[in-house]
């Protein structure tokens, strides 16, 4: 009742009184077959509606032209863009993409890794979950001889290829920009510090303060404010300080920055005059809020392409244990109204 039998190279061979090996050669179309028989074979293949069985071919060849990707969430702009970029390049190369989402769960991330190892994918690209505990599953990837590329959220306990945003530099630029706009007390909304990206963004903030001889005020730093709601809550707390901030850098995300903006608006604070706001990621909506939100573009589609290109360029080196390379993507500060309070525009 299930699946009628599909045409195989044997069916073609039988019909033409040839050996299956000839058929295989003609179809892979790079070996020695006479032009005459090749044409015959291609014609009957079309006639019988032949489609290669990749499972068999891959098993025999020992690899499957597939890149596995693991992301916390597929449906977040940043990751969706990365995947789109990845897909673009892998498609050009005739590779496929298998996608898994960890849902920010460590256990699920491990399961995804195992599935991809079982599938003998050619490469695994991963951005680790917020819940990350240790790197044993990542080591397992390497132990099975599969090239591993970490991107964006990475662990440094493991020496792998990496594609990163220069979060520290971008944060530093953002905060410096706010300082140049005359803001005096700049608060930081930070994300989970077990993720490298959030540590780096904090580092950038600290460096910018230092560079401009600004004091570090601990009460202006709020942990774990990486959703709109948490951003709003932190803002309420910050604004009720005896000496409230005159600017807030939502280093976690634009969603957090949106929470800041909403609270500020509700309290009747003028943005950017009384409160400056800067987000992170350049989500589409930052352009259309009132005022529009200053943020940082991460070039996520390019990042996806960079990951794929790294694989295809380094594929030969990846196996022989040469020192893994790190590609850094430079994010760009997008200055908009929410931080522009004096005339001398940047």
Decide: 153 and 197 in contact? Cβ < 8 Å. yes
342 binds DNA (CB under 7 A): no
288 binds a copy of itself (CB under 8 A): yes
Partner interacting with residue 117 (select from DNA, a copy of itself, none; CB below 5-8 Å by kind): a copy of itself
Q: Which stretch binds a copy of itself (CB under 8 A): 67-75, 171-179, 193-201, 270-278?
A: 67-75
Handedness of CA 124, 128, 131, 137 (dihedral sign): positive
Site map (CB under 7 A) of DNA, residues 62-101, x = contact: x---------------------------------------
Q: How far is the CB of 94 from a copy of itself (least distance, A)?
A: 8
In this chain, which of 27, 83, 258, 335 binds DNA, going by CB under 7 A?
27
46 binds a copy of itself (CB under 8 A): no
Q: Which is nearer to a copy of itself, 83 or 275 (CB)?
A: 83
> Quick one: three-class SS letters along the chain?
CCCCCCCCHHHHHHHHCCCHHHHHHHHHCCCCCCHHHHHHHHHHHHHCCCCCCHHHHHHHHCCCCEEEEEECCCCCHHHHHHHHHHHHHHHHCCCEEEEEECCCCHHHHHHHHHHHHHCCCCEEEECCCCCCCCCHHHHHHHHCCCCEEEECCCCCCCCCEEEEECHHHHHHHHHHHHHHCCCCCEEEECCCCCCHHHHHHHHHHHHHHHHCCCCCCHHHEECCCCCHHHHHHHHHHHHCCCCCCCEEEECCCHHHHHHHHHHHHHCCCCCCCCCEEECCECCHHHHCCCCCCEEEECCHHHHHHHHHHHHHHHHHHHHCCCCCCEEEECCEEECCHHHCCCCCCC
Site map (CB under 8 A) of a copy of itself, residues 240-259, x = contact: ------------------x-
Contacts of a copy of itself in 90-119 (CB under 8 A)? 91, 96-101, 108, 114-115, 117-119
In this chain, which of 57, 77, 103, 237 binds DNA, going by CB under 7 A?
57
- Size of the chain, expressed as the number of residues it contains: 346
Q: How far is the CB of 63 from DNA (least distance, A)?
A: 10
In this chain, which of 15, 38, 120, 199 binds a copy of itself, going by CB under 8 A?
120
In this chain, which of 15, 42, 110, 144 binds a copy of itself, going by CB under 8 A?
144
Strand order of the β-sheet with 276-278 is 221-222, 186-189, 247-250, 276-278
Q: Which stretch binds DNA (CB under 7 A): 25-33, 83-91, 282-290, 325-333?
A: 25-33
Q: Which is nearer to DNA, 53 or 322 (CB)?
A: 53
Partner interacting with residue 19 (select from DNA, a copy of itself, none; CB below 5-8 Å by kind): DNA
**Residues contributing to the site for DNA (CB under 7 A):** 5-6, 8-10, 17-22, 24-25, 27-28, 31-37, 50, 52-53, 56-57, 59-62
Which positions lie near a copy of itself, rule CB under 8 A?
Answer: 1-4, 6, 49, 51-56, 58-59, 62-64, 66, 73-77, 80-81, 83-84, 87, 91, 96-101, 108, 114-115, 117-120, 140, 143-145, 258, 284-285, 288-290, 301, 319-320
């Amino acid at each position: 009742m299930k699946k009628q039998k599909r045409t195989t190279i044997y069916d073609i061979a039988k019909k033409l009184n040839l050996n299956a090996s000839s058929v295989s050669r003609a179809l892979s179309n790079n070996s020695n077959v006479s032009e005459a028989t090749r044409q015959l074979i291609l014609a009957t293949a079309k006639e019988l509606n032949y489609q290669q069985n990749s499972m068999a071919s891959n098993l025999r060849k020992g690899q499957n032209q597939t890149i596995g990707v693991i992301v916390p969430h597929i449906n977040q702009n940043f990751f969706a863009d990365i995947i789109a970029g990845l897909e673009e390049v892998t498609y050009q190369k005739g590779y496929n993409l298998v996608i898994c989402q960890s849902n920010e769960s460590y256990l699920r991330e491990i399961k995804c890794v195992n599935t991809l190892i079982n599938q003998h994918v050619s490469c695994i690209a991963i951005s680790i979950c917020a819940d990350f505990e240790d790197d044993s599953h990542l080591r397992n990837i390497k132990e099975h001889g599969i090239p591993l590329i970490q991107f964006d959220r990475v662990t440094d306990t493991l020496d792998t290829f990496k594609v990163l945003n220069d979060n520290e530099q971008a944060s530093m630029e953002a905060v410096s920009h706010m300082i140049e706009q005359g803001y005096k007390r700049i608060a930081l909304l930070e994300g989970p510090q077990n993720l490298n990206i959030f540590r780096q963004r904090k580092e950038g903030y600290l460096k910018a303060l230092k560079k401009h001889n600004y004091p570090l005020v601990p009460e202006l730093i709020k942990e774990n404010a990486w959703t709109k709601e948490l951003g709003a809550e932190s803002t309420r707390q910050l604004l009720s300080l005896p000496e409230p901030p005159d600017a807030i850098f939502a280093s976690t995300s634009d969603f957090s920055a949106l929470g800041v903006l909403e609270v500020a608006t509700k309290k009747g604070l003028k943005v950017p005059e009384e409160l400056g706001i800067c987000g992170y990621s350049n989500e589409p909506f930052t352009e259309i809020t009132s005022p529009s939100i200053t943020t940082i573009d991460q070039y996520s589609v390019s990042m996806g392409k960079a990951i794929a290109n790294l694989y295809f360029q380094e594929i030969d080196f990846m196996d022989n244990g040469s020192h893994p390379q790190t590609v850094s993507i430079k994010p760009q500060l997008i200055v908009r109204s929410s931080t522009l309070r004096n005339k001398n525009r940047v």
